[in-house]
């Protein structure tokens, strides 16, 4: 915690033991300070004093006087304090013990091997004593070499973890002054926004409760614009509307999809009466909800030839949205038209189609949208001037420079724009998360890199957290939830998310400091900043190292195997060779009410176009 005499608080990572490779990243990092200045259009300037700061520094010495300690305790009661956690909690005693224990187990294992070799040698008499001594010497040399290799690996890992980090800024929100200002009516309308972006509260996030209703993995979460309702969709083909505050399901209905529901979103300014959905079956459907907590029906409005993973809403439109599918097609959908779906673009790299996993509309320039999928490029399009004869219609492309010519088959599983559309966040499979400046020219490199998690087993989501996109949040194959400070790229929160081992979906509340998450577990978890003490990031270092080792091992192991693109092509070819299945009885009667596009696929059984549904 900051001292009462006005010292600036100790930044994250400035512990008594300096972290490896940290100094070299602090020197000459002009971009870090520049970026910190550019973000503050929606934030107030940090207070110059640190008397009630949102961060708690590390004590200077153990021999503090009692008076000083008393003063600190008194101040702590008035502040949004945080634990001055190290870079990755490297100085924890428990972690040092676990390191020592691991090396001790390696030594024991080597001693056991040597003993076993002695027992199985023939003879065993004095004639073999010199040979035994030589073997022991060889074993000792091998053990020493292995330990040296382990030390080198640890150093390389520490260097990688500490690379591309920047100084953590001082707190921008102070609890006591903000509360006093609110009490006298000064800037009271900004109070909640500042609280939601406070690092001290992010570091106090903890599990509040679970929403249990689905019988399959929960793939999508979406708050309505007011934040009072939460929509969820699952592999069980059901969609549930929750009153999350009292943890009650208000409405549950059959989505009309034939396979895993991937997204369900409230359309803005629709009075929460229209829900757009997409799924593995490639269908884009719209559910009409009534004010009496019933689902009137669901209608198919478009059909992709492959799975449709994501929808992109236009911020102010209750009737327009976009969809992207693994068939590389982007549909623009306008519910006011008789034929709502219009094919905007087929995404290609050269002559090769690029299957899509994610799409997002720029909230500040709603005619622009970004897509990502089965290659390493983030592509931005402008709906007003898509000409596929010029650069395949692409306005600009971004990619981390080291992945442009990489032989590894990297995909983009999720991308999102920041609150003001100036930044673009992209998560790569079995790689890291990268932040781009969306206003930069075509081909510009990334500005920040966020690492430590693992994105391999599923199509993982990523999101900004905070009203001004102050933080980056992602799930991981290790079952944990990671929150990075956006500007410094340092981890500020680390929570265990799913017992099933994978967290896929993260949905921050639109107005309050909290979020909902889901993954392979069949429930939804709610998080709020109610912990008494800020996080200590316990166990983070070992989990990050484990994720990195597994990632490196898998990249070597799978280097010569068929890539996912070829596997997808073969599965699609086999599926299309099968005779089309008969439509569900009675589907023909609803054909006239279908909103399917003439560009939609007729090759797949999309199920009925119009489904009557009742709440459970």
Per-residue pLDDT at 222: 97
What pLDDT shows up at residue 25?
Answer: 42
Enumerate the β-bridge partners of residue 341. 333
pLDDT-flagged residues of the chain (< 70): 1-141, 144-150, 557-616
- pLDDT for 307 equals 96
pLDDT at 185: 83
Structure tokens at 594: 């279908």
pLDDT of residue 613: 56
pLDDT, residue 420, reads: 96
pTM: 0.72
Structural tokens at position 167: 């100084």
Per-residue pLDDT of 447-487, as tens digits, reads 999 999 999 888 889 999 999 999 999 999 999 999 999 99
pLDDT at 161: 83
Give Cβ neighbours of residue 275 (< 8 Å, ≥ 6 apart): 231, 239, 264, 265, 266, 267, 286, 287, 289
> The dihedral of CA 575, 581, 586, 588: what is its sign?
positive
Helix (H) or strand (E) holding 87: none
CB 87 within 8 A of CB 165: yes
Q: How far is the C-alpha of 217 from the C-alpha of 521, rounded, in Å? A: 6
Nearest-CA neighbor of 12 among 542, 464, 485?
Answer: 485
Question: Residue 293's pLDDT is what?
Answer: 77
What pLDDT does residue 52 have? 38
At 119 the pLDDT is 44
The pLDDT value given to residue 38 = 43
Per DSSP, the residues of 151-181 read HHHHHHHHHHHHTT--PPPPPS--HHHHHHH
Ranges of H-type helices in 209-292: none
Q: 598 CB contacts (<8 Å, ≥6 apart)?
A: 339
What integer pLDDT is reported at residue 183 of this predicted model? Answer: 86
Torsion (CA) 340, 346, 347, 353 in degrees, nearest 10: 130
């Amino acid at each position: 915690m900051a001292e009462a005499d006005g010292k600036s608080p100790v930044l994250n990572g400035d512990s008594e033991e300096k972290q490896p490779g940290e100094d070299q990243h602090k020197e000459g990092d002009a971009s870090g300070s520049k970026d910190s200045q550019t973000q503050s259009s929606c934030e107030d300037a940090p207070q110059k004093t640190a008397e009630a700061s949102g961060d708690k520094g590390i004590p200077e010495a153990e021999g503090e006087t009692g008076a000083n300690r008393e003063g600190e305790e008194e101040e702590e009661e008035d502040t949004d304090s945080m634990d001055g956690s190290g870079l990755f909690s490297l100085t924890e005693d428990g972690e040092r013990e676990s390191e020592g224990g691991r090396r001790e187990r390696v030594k024991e294992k080597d001693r056991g091997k040597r003993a076993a070799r002695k027992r199985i040698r023939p003879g065993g008499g004095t004639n073999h004593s010199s040979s035994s001594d030589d073997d022991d010497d060889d074993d000792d040399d091998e053990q020493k070499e292995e330990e040296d290799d382990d030390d080198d690996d640890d150093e390389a890992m520490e260097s990688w973890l500490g690379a591309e980090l920047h100084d953590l800024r001082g707190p921008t929100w102070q609890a006591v002054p903000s509360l006093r200002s609110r009490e006298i009516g000064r800037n009271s309308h900004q109070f909640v926004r500042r609280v939601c972006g406070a690092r001290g509260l992010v570091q106090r996030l903890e599990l509040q409760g679970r929403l249990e209703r689905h019988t399959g993995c929960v793939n999508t979460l979406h708050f309505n614009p007011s934040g009072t309702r939460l929509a969820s969709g699952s592999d069980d083909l059901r969609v549930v509307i929750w009153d999350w505050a009292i943890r009650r399901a208000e409405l549950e209905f059959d989505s009309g999809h034939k396979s895993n529901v991937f997204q369900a979103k409230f359309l803005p300014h629709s009075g929460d009466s229209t829900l757009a959905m997409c799924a593995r079956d490639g269908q884009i459907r719209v559910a009409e909800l009534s004010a009496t907590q019933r689902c009137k029906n669901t209608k198919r409005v478009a059909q992709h030839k492959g799975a449709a993973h994501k929808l992109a809403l236009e911020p102010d439109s209750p009737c327009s949205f976009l969809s992207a599918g693994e068939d590389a097609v982007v549909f623009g959908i306008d519910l006011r038209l008789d034929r709502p779906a219009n094919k905007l673009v087929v995404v290609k790299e050269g002559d090769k189609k690029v299957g899509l996993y994610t799409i997002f509309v720029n909230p500040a320039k709603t005619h622009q949208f970004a897509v990502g999928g089965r290659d390493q490029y983030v592509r931005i399009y402008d709906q007003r001037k898509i000409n596929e004869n010029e650069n395949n219609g692409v306005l600009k492309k971004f990619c981390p420079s080291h992945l442009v010519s990489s032989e590894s088959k990297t995909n983009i599983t999720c991308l999102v724009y920041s609150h003001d559309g100036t930044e673009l966040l992209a998560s790569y499979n079995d790689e890291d998360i990268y932040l781009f400046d969306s206003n930069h020219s075509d081909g510009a490199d990334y500005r920040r890199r966020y690492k430590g998690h693992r994105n391999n087993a599923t199509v993982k989501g990523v999101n900004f957290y905070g009203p001004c996109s102050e933080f980056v949040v992602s799930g991981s194959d290790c079952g944990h939830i990671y929150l990075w400070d956006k500007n410094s790229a340092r981890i500020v929160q680390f929570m265990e998310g799913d017992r099933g081992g994978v967290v896929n979906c993260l949905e921050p509340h639109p107005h309050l400091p909290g979020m909902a998450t889901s993954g392979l577990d069949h429930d939804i978890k709610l998080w709020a900043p109610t912990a008494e003490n800020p996080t200590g990031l316990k166990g983070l270092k070992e989990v990050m190292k484990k994720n990195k080792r597994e990632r490196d091992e898998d990249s070597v192991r799978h280097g010569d195997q068929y890539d996912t693109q070829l596997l997808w092509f073969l599965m699609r070819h086999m599926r299309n060779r099968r005779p089309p299945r008969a439509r569900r009885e009675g589907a023909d009667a609803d054909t006239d009410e279908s909103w399917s596009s003439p560009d939609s696929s007729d090759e797949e059984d999309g199920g009925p176009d119009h489904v009557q549904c009742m709440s459970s």
